[in-house]
Amino acid sequence: MVTKIGRRVHEYEGKPIIYGYPYEDLVAWFEEHGEKKFRAGQLWDWLYRKRVTSFEEMTNLSKDLIAKLNETFTFPVLNEKIKQQSTDGTRKFLFELADGLLIETVLMPQEYGLSICVTTQVGCNIGCTFCASGIIAKQRDLVAGEIVAQVMHVQRTLDEVAPGDRVSHIVVMGIGEPFDNYENVIKFLKVVNSDAGLAIGARHITVSTSGLAPKILDFAKEGLQVNLALSLHAPDNDTRSKIMRINRKYPIEVVMEAINEYIRTTNRRVTFEYIMLDHVNDSVEQAQQLADLLADKKRLSYVNLIPYNKVREHDQYERSSKDRVVAFYDVLKKNHINCVVRKEFGHDIEAACGQLRSSQMKRDRDRKRKTEEEKLFE
């Protein structure tokens, strides 16, 4: 089911987005402007508990304070261009930002709650040859408020259609490389994790990276209880460099040393994402290589085997057969590696990350070209 909605997004007008401020930063702003610090708590409650979309709705704030907030901050509303809903309950949103650029967000019903996958960049420069997100190069980073706004929009949708339901889990695995937009992602994590607001538990949040080793080390020092996932996808440098260009800059041995340091610092388990590509990275020999790679961190590692969603622009790849997936899985289990074959979501809609966005951009280009051709014959 596809629904098009024509609501326009507000222009930012050079003002910072209110959603981009962690609670401690808002407290500091109120004190700097001669306001009592408890006002920050009132604002936070209006933003994330009552979920209003304008300062004027905040009835326990003075008119002078509301005017000051309007002068300083802006309230973004994402333009929901397309919403797709799968038969399994997955909902995929295509949003237009204030500058007309497009991003995706996905809501997935899980056994343990409702999980949202958010985007952190418009496009991606990592260069994974199987992924729809990188078909179009990165156009810009999202600011923290734009990442939070995705969660808020989806939560308001739930408030309307299923009162009482709430986003309970977040995966930062949408379009873009989160650690290539590090500062904004950290601000986002602090906002959504705050007990006074959305109160999404840190252990219910997962950030995925393709392997930016220096940022993995930085993340280890943040003191956050947020989960880390590494998009590994191959156990050797030759294969990984062919399907992920980032491996040429940060080869497996460099990334794994950063992961080891992360584990030493945090004592937290790391998830290793592994997309199954037929006769590319799915042999039993490669499964053994993966098991050997993770042998020293069995207790604190978890492998997520991911069925491949075929992307039109990357037709050189096919999904691994069930037999090859089972054989790969069996090798890992025999080596006492914790692993699972990830449940599929949105199989009947444009499910691959970035696929809905790239399809819409292609439709827009085709429409524009057709219009220009028609003008030639007027």
| Beta partners for residue 303, in sequence order | 272, 339
| Alpha helical stretches, state H, the chain | 23-32, 38-48, 63-72, 144-161, 182-193, 213-220, 237-243, 252-266, 284-293, 322-334, 355-376
3-state class percentages of the chain: helix first, strand second, coil last, to nearest 5: 45, 20, 35
CA 107, 162, 87, 204 torsion-angle sign: positive
> Alpha-carbon distance 217 to 215, whole Å?
5
Other C-beta atoms within 10 Å of 166: how many?
A: 13
The three-state secondary structure class of 135 is: helix
Token readout for 111 is 């056994």
> Alpha-carbon distance 327 to 304, whole Å?
15
Q: Is 117 a catalytic residue?
A: no
Among the options 35, 80, 96, 104, which is catalytic? 104
Helical (H) or strand (E) element with 341: strand 339-341
> Alpha-carbon distance 220 to 178, whole Å?
15
Q: Is 128 a catalytic residue?
A: no
Token readout for 98 is 């204030």
> Among all residues, which ones are annotated catalytic?
104, 353
